[in-house]
Amino acid sequence: MEFRETIRQQLQYGEATPLVMSSSIAAGSQNGGIGARLLRSDSRQVRTHVHERVRTDLMPWTRKLSFAASFLEVLVEAAVLLLTRNQPCDAPLKLWIGVLIALQTASIVLRLLGSVYSRVALLELQPAGSDGSGLITQEVFRSGQRGDLTALAASSDFDAPGATFAADVEVPAFAVQQPTRILHALYLGWIILGSIWLSESRTCPGTAPLLFRICVILVLVYFAFLMLPLVLITLIICCLPLFIRFLVNYAERLRRQERAAAPEIVEQLPVVQFDASQCEDFGFEEDGAPICTICLSQYEPAEEIRKLPCGHHFHRACVDQWLLFFDKSCPQCRSDVDASQTTRHWQGNHPERINPASSSEEEYV
């Protein structure tokens, strides 16, 4: 799967990486390696699907858009040269646009060749013949070598009659990448030279305004593309603290949502009305003052109190907000409210009463 992933990556970034189908892969077919996985009959349907998909859509929409923009730019530049052919200019801007058109044309040709090479490399194997029993290899590209397909023919998957093979065609690997790098370097140098000529021009804005304006626009656009990575890196560095803070808050909200109690579980917890005469039911003596440990306020008579399975009690409004939006555990002892039966706090048919607490006073402080 390694070389398949390499092909996909090269196709994604528009690079023409040829397929390497060497004798090592062919030998792997005999040992159950990558060659055998490529030549299995159950993988032919997948390769056929890829072939049909690529044939119906030869280029991704991004590549189509790039080609269209390049063609449009070449047409505009050629039209400007035609319209300003009789207008004098003290700077060689016409020469600059002419060379720029040549560089863009070469770039378009290289991208087309890279696209074709990449597509052919992707279609390394496809069914051959009407019965689909045989497999035919597409062009196999090697760097200074020729692939050996003899071992492929000896594979057990090719014992069926009608299996045919195509001799590999020797095409240098990365044949398009090296000229593309050289072309990019020429682009950069030519754009810098054009900006120098524009800054030194004195009469061209008056004698050939259209030519001068087009050159200014082209230089600005190219410099914008060159500066785009630097601008993005600067934005990332400047906005990174804010982004991290947003992620931390988002992660905290997710954690709270995962730990929050379900509303039906909270509703099952017993609710009573506080009675000052039943202070011992809350774990306090008569001279004590039961309080809610969330808001640190004393219980008022007839105030709704919710008691948790662990025996701790709080104001209903306080503990409900805690359980539903923060955590399903007790704010005091950190035990989950759904870890035990909640009905054990009810006292027969009198929900307004609370069973006497069995814990000590220190448990509620």
What is the model's pLDDT at position 193? 92
SS3 at position 133: coil
37-41, 197-201, 242-246, 353-357 — most confident range = 197-201
Any domain includes 229: no
206 shares a domain with 275:
no
Mean pLDDT of the chain: 68
Structure tokens at 190: 């030519």
Band of residue 201 on the pLDDT scale cut at 50, 70, 90: confident
Structure tokens at 87: 């207008």
What is the model's pLDDT at position 283? 55
279 shares a domain with 178:
no
- In angstroms, the CA 225 to CA 214 distance is 17
What is the model's pLDDT at position 59? 55
pLDDT digits (tens, 9 = 90+) for 8-64: 555 454 444 333 344 444 444 444 444 444 444 444 444 445 445 554 455 567 777
168 neighbors 147 (Cβ within 8 angstroms): yes
What is the model's pLDDT at position 17? 39
What is the model's pLDDT at position 8? 54
More confident residue, 140 or 112: 112
% of the chain surpassing 90 pLDDT:
6
Domain extent for 165: 2-219
Band of residue 289 on the pLDDT scale cut at 50, 70, 90: low
350 shares a domain with 207:
no
Q: Is the pLDDT of residue 154 over 60?
A: no
Of the residues 158, 188, 219, the one at which a domain ends: 219
177 shares a domain with 28:
yes
Q: Which amino acid is at 199?
A: S
Q: How many domains does the chain have?
A: 2
Within 10 A of 336 (CB to CB), how many other CB atoms are there? 16
Rg (CA), the chain: 38
What is the model's pLDDT at position 95? 92
156 shares a domain with 70:
yes
**Of the candidate ranges 13-22, 181-190, 267-276, the one whose mean pLDDT is the lowest:** 13-22
What is the model's pLDDT at position 280? 60
What is the model's pLDDT at position 261? 81
More confident residue, 78 or 283: 78
171 shares a domain with 296:
no
CATH number at residue 289: 3.30.40.10
First to last CA, the chain: 63
132 shares a domain with 64:
yes
Q: Is the pLDDT of residue 300 over 60?
A: yes
Q: Is the pLDDT of residue 97 over 50?
A: yes
Q: Which amino acid is at 221?
A: V
**Of the candidate ranges 202-206, 267-271, 289-293, 357-361, the one whose mean pLDDT is the lowest:** 357-361
What is the model's pLDDT at position 47? 46
Q: Is the pLDDT of residue 228 over 80?
A: yes
User: Which of 21, 300, 243 is closest to 148 using CA atoms?
Assistant: 21
pLDDT digits (tens, 9 = 90+) for 104-133: 888 888 888 877 776 666 565 444 444 443
% of the chain surpassing 70 pLDDT:
56
More confident residue, 109 or 6: 109
Of the residues 193, 219, 245, the one at which a domain ends: 219
3-state helix, strand, coil in the chain (%, to 5): 55, 5, 35
Q: What is the mean pLDDT of residues 233-250?
A: 84
What is the model's pLDDT at position 108? 86
Of the residues 219, 248, 283, the one at which a domain ends: 219
51-65, 191-205, 342-356 — most confident range = 191-205
What is the model's pLDDT at position 79? 92
- In angstroms, the CA 202 to CA 86 distance is 18
145 shares a domain with 21:
yes
339 shares a domain with 271:
yes
SS3 at position 298: strand
DSSP character for 166? -
286 shares a domain with 181:
no
Q: What is the mean pLDDT of residues 255-271?
A: 80
Q: Is the pLDDT of residue 363 over 50?
A: no
